[in-house]
Amino acid sequence: MPPKPDTATDNINTRHERRMQRKKAMMDEKIEQAQRKTGVLLVHTGNGKGKSSSAFGMVMRAMGHGMKVGVVQFIKGAMSTGEEIFLRRFPDEVEFHAMGEGYTWVTQNRERDMEKAAVAWEQAKRFLTDPTIGLVVLDELNIALKYHYLDLQMVIDDLDGRPEMQHVAVTGRGALPELIAIADTVTEMQVIKHAFKEGIVAQAGVEW
């Protein structure tokens, strides 16, 4: 005789409950172990979508918790992006510096790119020495490092020397192994599918 529907449902619910109890015990133990509070260095890399937008999601979280935020956009910046338009509404909460000049494959001038990167790093350094800033976003810094627009050791030293409780999010494809080595959290965004390849243009609110 097959089990009555009620019994089958009960079994599903009991199994679910046991599984969730094991999961809770595991999570409780992990939380018990992880108690150190400190500023973290996050790196978002890979070819997939979501590297910059994830950093800007963190900006929203930080603002929700009343933290001050500093943003420097490397490489990008010729086009006004949605996040820039939005964040400029909060000059007391967010300092925003866009390097300008757009992507290097549009400008095609290495020396000018290097000068712009150096100016942008000066701005970044100002944030990285200011303990009142809780989160610093260095958007597309990985690109600037990959093309050697900035000295890697200088960047690492400035990141290491920042205020203890300050969080930093670095984005861009091709993160250098030296940066990954000193980071606390590293995520690789992998493309499974991209609308662009299906003939859909980059659109406001999605890509910029």
- What one-letter code names the amino acid at 95? E
Helix (H) or strand (E) holding 141: helix 141-146
Helix 110-128 vs helix 152-160: crossing angle, to nearest 10: 10
User: Contact at 8 Å (CB) between 41 and 159?
Assistant: yes
- Least distance between a copy of itself and beta carbon 191 (Å): 7
- Least distance between a copy of itself and beta carbon 27 (Å): 6
Distance separating alpha carbons of residues 183 and 169, to the nearest angstrom: 10
- Least distance between a copy of itself and beta carbon 122 (Å): 23
Q: Give 1 or 92: the residue with its C-beta nearer to a copy of itself.
A: 92
Q: Give 60 or 118: the residue with its C-beta nearer to a copy of itself.
A: 60
Q: Give 1 or 106: the residue with its C-beta nearer to a copy of itself.
A: 106
- Least distance between a copy of itself and beta carbon 135 (Å): 6
Helix (H, G, I), strand (E, B) or coil at 181: helix
Q: Give 42 or 124: the residue with its C-beta nearer to a copy of itself.
A: 42
